[in-house]
Amino acid sequence: MEDLLRVGVITSTHGIRGEVKVFPTTDDPMRFKKLKKAVICGRRENVNVEIASVKFFKQYVILKFKEFDNINDIEQYVKKDLCVTRENAVKCEPGEYFICDLIGLDVITDEGEHIGKLTDVLETGANNVYEVTADNGKTILIPVIDQCILDHNLEEKTVTVHMLPGLMDLN
């Protein structure tokens, strides 16, 4: 489980007073209104920042950090990830999980058969899809619907699934 969760990417500076334009990578960009602290993930080191102001412009969030008052000081962080600690992350509802916590889980059937490892979560319009890499290297796609996904057990690092008839044939 990762300590830092990415909520956006700094795409450019905005104005001359140290504001940045952030492309949100979170499900709910409005979460930035409540966000007080964040971390800019740099190549060499991470920089803890406090958020002074939040504005919205098209699909972007315009942030002002208390630590930066000048475009020259902030422009070195363009194209860097903006992250939050787990304490500052949005709390998941029951049955919701961070994608980074799911990657690498063992996928087993309700009959006890090991299918493979969960390697990606594809976000589609209707429902998400788990991409599972089988032990033989084959990719299996499993829709994240109640009929297929029975249980997530993060302590045991497993996802229990029910393979609907014909689902393995599609992959």
pLDDT for 100-125, tens place per residue? 889 999 999 999 999 999 999 998 87
pLDDT-based confidence at residue 1 (cuts at 50, 70, 90): very low
pLDDT for 120-157, tens place per residue? 999 887 889 999 998 888 899 999 999 999 999 989 99
Q: What does the pLDDT average to over 65-87?
A: 93
Q: What is the per-residue pLDDT for 170?
A: 59
**Short-list 102, 87, 99, CA closest to 154:** 102
Q: How many CB atoms lie within 10 A of CB 45?
A: 7
pTM: 0.71
pLDDT for 17-71, tens place per residue? 999 999 999 888 898 999 999 999 987 889 999 999 999 999 999 999 999 999 9
Q: What is the per-residue pLDDT for 2?
A: 61
pLDDT-based confidence at residue 169 (cuts at 50, 70, 90): low
Q: What does the pLDDT average to over 2-14?
A: 91
pLDDT for 28-43, tens place per residue? 889 899 999 999 998 7
Write out the two tokens for 7. 């909520």
Report DSSP letters for 36-65, one per residue.
-EEEEE-SS-EEEEEEEEEEEETTEEEEEE
**With contact defined as beta carbons under 8 Å apart, do 139 and 130 qualify?**
no
